[in-house]
């Protein structure tokens, strides 16, 4: 069965430090993976998708099929990066997404 695991509920770093938010998945076949972000008092929004191989707001994520991981990385954290981050993958025929439990990133000044 498809599953997404985000092992850290909270990740606290200082401004300027590197950030890595972990996401591991279980999926049959080639998954399409996403990172969503929810800033305080804002709606959930798509941050990036692995098929685009893009960098958004300095964040990147590489799909590692061998380790079944899709970790989100940023070399230098900013205070405005503080938010809840969710990893997601497709969950079946209805185009639904399965979301991880989320990691709260707190960037300290």
Partner 1 sequence: SAVISQKPSRDICQRGTSLTIQCQVDSQVTMMFWYRQQPGQSLTLIATANQGSEATYESGFVIDKFPISRPNLTFSTLTVSNMSPEDSSIYLCSAATGGHYEQYFGPGTRLTVT
Residue among 13 and 84 whose Cβ is closer to partner 1: 84
Distance in Å, CB of 75 to partner 1, minimum: 25
Residue among 71 and 100 whose Cβ is closer to partner 1: 100
Distance in Å, CB of 100 to partner 1, minimum: 7
Give the burial string for 16-31 (b: 16+ CB within 10 Å, else e). eeebebbbbbebeeeb
Residue of 58, 60, 61, 39 lying closest to 105 (CA atoms): 39
User: Which residues of the shown chain bind partner 1 in the complex (CB under 8 A)?
Assistant: 32, 34, 43-46, 49, 84, 86, 90-91, 94-97, 99-102, 104
Residue among 65 and 96 whose Cβ is closer to partner 1: 96
Cα separation, 28 vs 1, in Å, equals 8
Distance in Å, CB of 44 to partner 1, minimum: 4
Residue of 88, 77, 99 lying closest to 11 (CA atoms): 77
């Amino acid at each position: 069965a498809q599953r997404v695991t985000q092992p850290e509920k909270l990740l606290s770093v200082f401004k300027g430090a590197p950030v890595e938010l972990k996401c591991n998945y279980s999926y049959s076949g080639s998954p399409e993976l996403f990172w969503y972000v929810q800033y305080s008092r804002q709606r959930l929004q798509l941050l990036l998708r692995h098929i685009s191989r893009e960098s958004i707001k300095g964040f990147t994520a590489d799909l590692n099929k061998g380790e079944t991981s899709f970790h989100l990385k940023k070399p230098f954290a900013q205070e405005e990066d503080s938010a809840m981050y969710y990893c997601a993958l497709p969950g079946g025929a209805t185009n639904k997404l399965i979301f991880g439990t989320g990691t709260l990133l707190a960037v300290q000044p």
